[in-house]
Amino acid sequence: MIQIDAYRNCEEVELFINGVSHGKKAHTKGLINSWNVSYEPGNAKIVAYNNGGIAAEDEVTTVGDPYAIRLSLMHKGEREVLIKAEIIDESGYTCPTSDNEINFSIISDDCNEDKFRILGTANGNPSNHDLPNKSSIKAFNGLAQVIIASDQPVSNLENQVPGVTLAAISEGLICGSIKIFSH
């Protein structure tokens, strides 16, 4: 048996495991609603109600083994871009316990790698004391970030550079890549 807790400020809460209700419970402000259920892989969903209508929903899904790296643009500044790296399973869910080492590299379609550099990496782990100016980092909770810097304003480069890609490699995972600049 596992315990599932719901922290809500609504009148009632209901737990669903893989679509099957495990009952509604009246909620007392400041207290936690709990259910003891048998573990089943899949999804757990909490539905909160006020005045008989749905006020909020939240759900979590069991993830599989680490499978690949997904990269996405978080921010494009004047001379830098911030990229998020996620270790994901085959279904595309972030693996929250993954701590794979991720190695980043810049690839340019016309050998313009010298216009770009990896300024630093981060993972949000408060106990990580590695220097941030490396091109590799261990994921924390399945996540990492990398900052790519340019010697010129990003807006100037977007039409000058044929294509710049950030690649992310980790042993045993499908590599991730994202076009940073292209025209």
Residues 21 and 98 in one domain: no
* Edge-to-edge order in the sheet of strand 116-122: 68-76, 80-88, 143-150, 116-122
Can you give the pLDDT at residue 158? 53
Measured distance CA(157)–CA(106) in Å, rounded: 15
pLDDT in tens, 18-74: 999 999 999 887 789 999 999 999 999 999 999 999 999 999 999 999 999 999 999
Burial of 146 (0-12, 13-18, 19+ CB in 10 A): buried
Residues 133 and 153 in one domain: yes
Number of domains in the chain: 2
Residues 96 and 149 in one domain: yes
**Total Cβ atoms within 10 A of residue 179:** 13
CATH code assigned at 26: 2.60.40.10
For residue 119, pLDDT over 60 is answered with yes
Residues 89 and 151 in one domain: yes
Residues 128 and 157 in one domain: yes
| Cα radius of gyration (the chain) | 22
Residues 87 and 47 in one domain: no
Measured distance CA(143)–CA(84) in Å, rounded: 7
Can you give the pLDDT at residue 77? 85
Residues 144 and 177 in one domain: yes
Residue 183 carries which DSSP code? Answer: -
Global pTM value: 0.79
- Give the residue with greater pLDDT, 179 vs 14: 14
Residues 43 and 27 in one domain: yes
pLDDT in tens, 60-110: 999 999 999 999 999 988 888 999 999 999 999 999 999 999 999 998 766
Can you give the pLDDT at residue 112? 59
Can you give the pLDDT at residue 125? 92
Residues 39 and 20 in one domain: yes
Question: How is residue 132 written in tokens?
Answer: 């941030």
The residue range of the domain holding 46 is 2-61
